[in-house]
Amino acid sequence: MSTKNFKDYLDKNQIDYQQQVSLKEYTTLNIGGKAAFFCAPKSVEEVEMLITQAKANNIPYFILGNGSNVLVSDNGYAGVIIYLKKHMHQVRVKDDVIYAQAGAMLWDVCEVAHKHALTGLEFAYGIPASIGGATFMNAGAYGGELKDVLTSCTTVDEKGDMHTYSNEDMQFSYRHSRLSHANEIVVEISMQLAPGESTVIRQRMDELWQRRQSKQPLDKPSAGSTFKRPVGGYASALIDQAGLKGFVLDNAMVSDKHAGFVVNHAGATFEQFIALIEHVKKTVEKESGILLEEEVRILK
């Protein structure tokens, strides 16, 4: 690993970066240590440059959008964080198609759709994810998923090469895409929506936002749903039935509002959060025979 060569490259090419940046400030869980390099590319070309140079210098890298589905170790990350939200967040509309860069927030794209009276994306309003993260995990809610509207996805692979995939190529399923098993970074997607009535679109968006506020613990730091939905059931119901709703372990807590959310109750550490996740998994498996799988991504 040659961090000096990598730093020299960043300086020479005037790439926006910092060193030893606390990732706690960039995740919705408010947990995590420092990243060795925190880079904010301004273009697809700079994404390609960062990946190829990181690989050339044997430095690991991780893509960060809104940090809404990530649990970072308190020891930090001895590699390169490629942060897309700062610069790569442009959204444009052509006819009924929306083009959004990976760093754009999903709720902002919903607002653009509303402004142009385009319907089909209302289900996503309030999901605290960037477009890149939402595509990676096929984000969805209230009967809709990103796969329902995505028409193309442009990525950069670990060699720095670009690829464009169709909806079918993306191999979407529940909280899964081809990117779940490929070392590729989303840089832009396109979505096909349909003409609609602006007032009806706003009404639906507001309705879903109110439902989120009433059912989810939005007042506490979390990474959204901590566990994936198991076959034939719901993680929140299984956790509730196991008597764990509201359960507190050190400074981490199973939400007393929605058992599917493990929240940072009072300044939880990475180890405390992991310990509670493991306790929930073991207890639910003992009670129901079902082993829950984490939806949150763990970075250490």
Say if residue 124 is in the same domain as residue 193: yes
Is residue 66 domain-shared with residue 134, that is, in the same domain? no
Residue 222 token pair: 């979390």
Closest CA to 146 of 165, 120, 182, 166: 120
Per-residue model confidence as pLDDT tens digits over 57-66: 999 999 999 9
Q: What share of the chain is helix, strand, coil (3-state, %, to 5)?
A: 35, 30, 40
Residue 123 covered by a domain:
yes
What phi and psi values does residue 72 have, to the nearest 5 degrees?
-105, 140
Judge if 126 and 165 occupy the same domain. yes
pLDDT tens digits, 160-188: 999 999 999 999 999 999 998 888 999 99
Is residue 221, in this structure, part of any structural domain at all? no
Confidence of residue 2 (pLDDT cuts 50, 70, 90): confident
* Whether 99 and 166 share a structural domain: yes
pLDDT of 103-137, one tens digit each?
A: 999 999 999 999 999 999 999 999 999 999 999 99
Record the tokens describing residue 3, joined without a space.
């961090």
> Is residue 230 one of the residues assigned to a domain?
no
Same domain, 142 and 50: no
Task: Assess whether 95 and 210 both reside in one domain.
Answer: yes
CA distance 218 to 210: 11
Q: Are residues 59 and 124 in the same domain?
A: no
* Cβ-based burial of 94 (10 A; exposed 0-12, middle 13-18, buried ≥19): exposed
Strand-pairing partners, residue 252, are: 249, 264
200-259 pLDDT, tens per residue? 999 999 999 999 999 999 999 999 999 999 988 899 999 999 999 999 999 999 999 999
Predicted pLDDT of residue 166: 98
pTM, 2 dp: 0.93
% of the chain surpassing 70 pLDDT: 100
Give the pLDDT of residue 71.
97
Is the distance from CB of 271 to CB of 292 less than 8 angstroms? no
| Residue pLDDT, tens place only, 190-203 | 999 999 999 999 99
Question: What is the per-residue pLDDT across 88-102, written as a single tens digit (0 to 9) for each?
Answer: 999 999 999 999 999
Token pair for 242: 């196991």
Supply the range of the domain harboring residue 23: 3-83
Decide: 246 and 254 in contact? Cβ < 8 Å. Answer: yes
Within a domain: 279: yes
| Whole-number pLDDT of residue 233 | 87
CATH number at residue 15: 3.30.43.10
Give which of 1, 12, 26, 168 is closest to 79, Cα–Cα.
Answer: 1
CATH code of 249's domain:
3.90.78.10
Q: Does residue 225 lie in a domain region? A: no
| 229 in Cβ contact with 260 (< 8 Å) | no
Domain end residue (candidates: 159, 185, 215): 215
Please check whether residues 67 and 129 belong to one and the same domain: no
Q: What is the mean pLDDT of residues 142-157?
A: 97
What's CA 172's distance to the chain center, in Å? 16
Q: Are residues 35 and 72 in the same domain?
A: yes
Asked whether residue 172 is assigned to any structural domain, the reply reads: yes
Q: Identify the H or E element spanning 192.
A: strand 184-192
Same domain, 119 and 67: no
- Domain boundary pick from 48, 83, 118: 83
- Which CATH number characterizes residue 134's domain? 3.30.465.10
Q: Are both 116 and 204 inside the same structural domain?
A: yes
Query: Residue 14 falls within a domain, yes or no?
Result: yes
| 116 and 73 in a common domain | no
Tokens of 65: 């959008």
- Domain end, chosen from 155, 187, 215, is at 215
Average pLDDT estimate for 264-290 = 97
User: According to the model, what pLDDT value does residue 1 have?
Assistant: 65
Residues serving a catalytic function are 175, 225, 295
Q: Number of structural domains, the chain?
A: 3
In the predicted structure, residue 53 carries a pLDDT above the cut 90: yes
186 contact partners, CB below 8 Å, separation of at least 6: 63, 102, 131, 132, 135, 136, 153, 154, 155, 179
CA distance 94 to 98: 7
Residue 148 lies in a domain: yes
